[in-house]
Each structure stands twice: as C-alpha cells, then as structure tokens.
C-alpha cells in the first residue's frame, strides 16, 4: 500500500522515559520536544503531507500545576525557536483544540505561527493543543445547533460530510495512520471522529526515543496492512 498522506501521533511516555533515567518528568518533556523536532524533519524528508501531533490534551490540565506550566512553556519555546525553521522548510502550521481558555500569550503565538506559515505547501504540521475529541465534537455540535437555530442550515442537511465541516479539522484529510508510543494501546480522546478508519500502530518505545527509523518502521507496518473501509478487498470481490 502507498505511504500514508496523513500521520497522527500520540507522543506518549515522556514521564516514564525520565523516570527510567532518574530524571524529573520535565526532562522527559524536554527530550520529547527534541523527538518532535526530529520527527517533523523526518516526515518532511519522507514527503509526508500531513503530520498531526497530540501536544496537550484537554485532560492534561489535571496534572500538577508545575507540569502544566512546564508543557505551556515548552510549547512557547518550540514555537519561538522552531517557527523560523519550519517556515523556511515550507511547513504550514495549523492548530486544533479549544483556544478560548488558553493564556493570551499562547493564543497570540499560535495565531502568529498559523498566519506566518499559511501560504506554505511542502507539509502541514497540525498541533493538537488543549485538544480533546469529545470536546471538539461537542463544540462542533454547538456551532451546528446555532446555525440551525439561525436558519442557516436545515436538519435534513446534517450528514456526516456536513457535520465534519464544523470540526476543528474541517478541510484536513482523515489520518491514514495513528501511531502511539510507549506501549499503551488506546486513543485517549484523540481524533475519535477522524480516526474511524485509521490504521493504528502501537510502538513500545517511549516518545523521546522516537526518530526517523521508528517513523519508517511504523510506515512499513502501515504499508503491510489491508485497508477496506468497511468494504471488501478488490481481489475478493468475485469470491
């Protein structure tokens, strides 16, 4: 099978990576940002058109205050330090998630990253930040209900194709491949609508150990899969 157009990654295991080395969790997250940098470059080299990364979930607010502020700081650092390189490499940055309740300096940075890179066409990097799929779906339903209430859409017009235009990912292709590191085998509220037919690949390594080779390995596993989207494989049609 052809290489995936869209790869989405649950970058899990920073904390365990740090613990295994007797380091604080913050060191794991810092190493996680390094792995993210390498992975974006590797995906660009492999001509992957879309890469979505789960950087902060709407449930991550439940972590200790210091860790939350650490993750916020790392996002700011990532954008401040890497935006110029991303832009130079022709990467378009997009952000999904609920932006309303984020600190204003973060909102400004996210908007700056999107507006600076909006005309780039080499690759799309989607950062899921303060993202939760149930929250995204509920926000979409709210927008749709408002449109219906104001008579801009009729109930008969509400189909899956129309519904998804209200999601944060409107106009983005669904992920072909979802990778989760650290050995956990669940989606944890990530792209629940969009991953309906995605191939899921779970890798045992912790996120800070992810690199170009691991990405190539996940793509090889994906390529060996048989995607049928609820239908039958073409070679089995006559059977």
| Catalytic center residues | 12, 60
Binding residue (CB under 6 A) for ligand FPP from 7, 33, 48, 140: 33
Binding residue (CB under 6 A) for ligand FPP from 7, 40, 43, 71: 71
Binding positions for ligand FPP, 90-149, rule CB under 6 A: none
Q: How buried is 93 (Cβ within 10 angstroms: 0-12 exposed, 13-18 middle, 19+ buried)?
A: buried
CB 61 within 8 Å of CB 81: no
Tally of helices (H runs) and strands (E runs) in the chain: 7, 6
Minimum gap (Å) between residue 65 Cβ and ligand FPP: 15
Minimum gap (Å) between residue 182 Cβ and ligand FPP: 6
Instruction: Specify the residue, 56 or 166, whose C-beta has the smaller distance to ligand FPP.
Output: 56
Distance from C-alpha of 23 to C-alpha of 28, rounded to nearest angstrom: 8
DSSP string for 148-176: HHTTSS-GGG--HHHHGGGSTTTTSPPPS
Binding of ligand FPP at residue 16 (CB under 6 A)? yes
Question: Which parts of this chain interact with ligand FPP (CB under 6 A)?
Answer: 11-16, 29, 32-33, 36, 55-56, 60, 71, 74-75, 78, 182, 207
């Amino acid at each position: 099978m052809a290489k995936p157009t869209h790869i989405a990654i649950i970058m899990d295991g920073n904390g365990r990576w740090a613990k295994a080395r007797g380091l604080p969790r913050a060191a794991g997250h810092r190493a996680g940002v390094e792995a993210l940098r390498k992975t974006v470059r590797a995906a660009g080299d492999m001509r992957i058109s879309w890469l979505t990364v789960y950087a902060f979930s709407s449930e991550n607010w439940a972590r200790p205050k210091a860790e939350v502020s650490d993750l916020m700081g790392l996002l700011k650092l990532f954008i401040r330090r890497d935006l110029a390189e991303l832009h130079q490499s022709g990467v378009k940055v997009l952000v999904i998630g609920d932006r309303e309740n984020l600190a204003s300096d973060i909102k400004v940075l996210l908007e700056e990253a999107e507006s600076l890179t909006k005309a780039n066409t080499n690759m799309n990097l989607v950062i899921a930040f303060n993202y939760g799929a149930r929250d995204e779906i509920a926000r979409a339903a709210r927008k749709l209900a408002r449109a219906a209430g104001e008579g801009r859409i009729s109930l008969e017009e509400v189909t899956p194709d129309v519904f998804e235009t209200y999601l944060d990912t409107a106009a983005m292709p669904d992920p072909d491949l979802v990778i989760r590191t650290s050995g956990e085998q669940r989606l944890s509220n990530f792209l629940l609508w969009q991953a309906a037919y995605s191939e899921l690949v779970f890798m045992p390594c912790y996120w800070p150990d992810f690199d170009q080779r691991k990405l190539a390995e996940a793509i090889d596993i994906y390529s060996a899969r048989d995607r049928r989207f609820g239908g039958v494989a073409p070679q089995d049609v006559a059977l």
